[in-house]
Structure 1
Amino acid sequence: MRWSLLLITLLCQLVVADERAPLRVMTDLWPPFRMEDAQGNLTGLDIDVLDEIGRRSGLRFDIQRAPWARGLADLQQGRADLMIGLAKTPEREQYIEYLSSPYYACAPRFYTAAGAAQQVRSYADLQGKVIGYVNESVYFQPFDADHSLDKRGVNNEQQLLQMLLRGRLGVVIGTDCQVDFELLQPGYAGAIAKARYQPEARTELFIGFSKVRAQLQEQTLINTALRQMLAEGWIKRQAKRYQVQR
Structure 2
Amino acid sequence: MRYLLLTLLLAFGAAPRAEQWRVVGDEQFAPYSFVPIGSERPQGLDVELVEAILAAARVDYRLRLYPWPRVKLMLERGDATMAFQFAGTPERRAQYRLVGPIRSGATVFMTTHKTAIQDWQQLGDLAPYVLGQVRGYAYEAAFDAADLGRDTSAQNPRQLVSMLLAGRIDIIVGDRTQLLYFVAEQHAEQRVRILPRPLVEMPRYVAFAKDDEAHAERFAEALRRLQQAGTLEPIYRRWGQSPPL
Deviations 1:47-76 (A, max 9, x none): 111221232222022223222122112212
Q: Distance in 2 between matches of 1:171 and 1:211?
A: 34
The 5 A counterparts of 1:161-240 are 161-199=161-199, 201-211=200-210, 214=212, 216=214, 218-240=215-237
Q: Distance in 1 between matches of 2:117 and 2:129?
A: 14
Please tell me the residue identity of whatever aligns with 1:27: G
Q: 1:26 aligns with which of 24, 27, 37?
A: 24
Q: Distance in 1 between matches of 2:242 and 2:112?
A: 24
> CA RMSD, aligned part only?
2.3
Normalising by structure 1, we get a TM-score of: 0.82
The 5 A counterparts of 1:76-155 are 76-99=76-99, 101-116=100-115, 118-122=117-121, 123-146=123-146, 148-153=147-152, 154-155=154-155
Please tell me the residue identity of whatever aligns with 1:22: Q
Deviations 1:75-132 (A, max 9, x none): 1222211112111333333441122x31111121000014537444333331121110
| 3-state SS of 2:228 partner | helix
The answer (yes or no) to whether the contact 1:110–1:171 under 8 Å persists in 2 is: yes
Q: Distance in 2 between matches of 1:232 and 1:133?
A: 37
Q: Which runs of 5+ in 2 are unaligned?
A: 1-11
Matched residues, number: 226
Q: Which runs of 5+ in 1 are unaligned?
A: 1-11
The answer (yes or no) to whether the contact 2:113–2:193 under 8 Å persists in 1 is: yes
Q: Distance in 1 between matches of 2:239 and 2:175?
A: 15
The answer (yes or no) to whether the contact 1:111–1:193 under 8 Å persists in 2 is: yes
Q: Distance in 1 between matches of 2:68 and 2:116?
A: 29
The answer (yes or no) to whether the contact 1:163–1:169 under 8 Å persists in 2 is: yes
Identity percentage of aligned residues: 23
The answer (yes or no) to whether the contact 2:89–2:139 under 8 Å persists in 1 is: no
CA apart distance, 1:173: 0.2
Please tell me the residue identity of whatever aligns with 2:174: G
| 3-state SS of 2:80 partner | coil
Please tell me the residue identity of whatever aligns with 2:136: E
Please tell me the residue identity of whatever aligns with 2:61: F
Q: Distance in 2 between matches of 1:180 and 1:49?
A: 21
Instruction: Identify if the C-alpha distance between structure 1 residues 89 and 115 changes in structure 2 by more than 3 Å, giving closer, same or farther.
Output: same
Comparing 181-190 and 53-62, the one that deviates more: 181-190
Normalising by structure 2, we get a TM-score of: 0.82
Comparing 201-210 and 235-244, the one that deviates more: 235-244
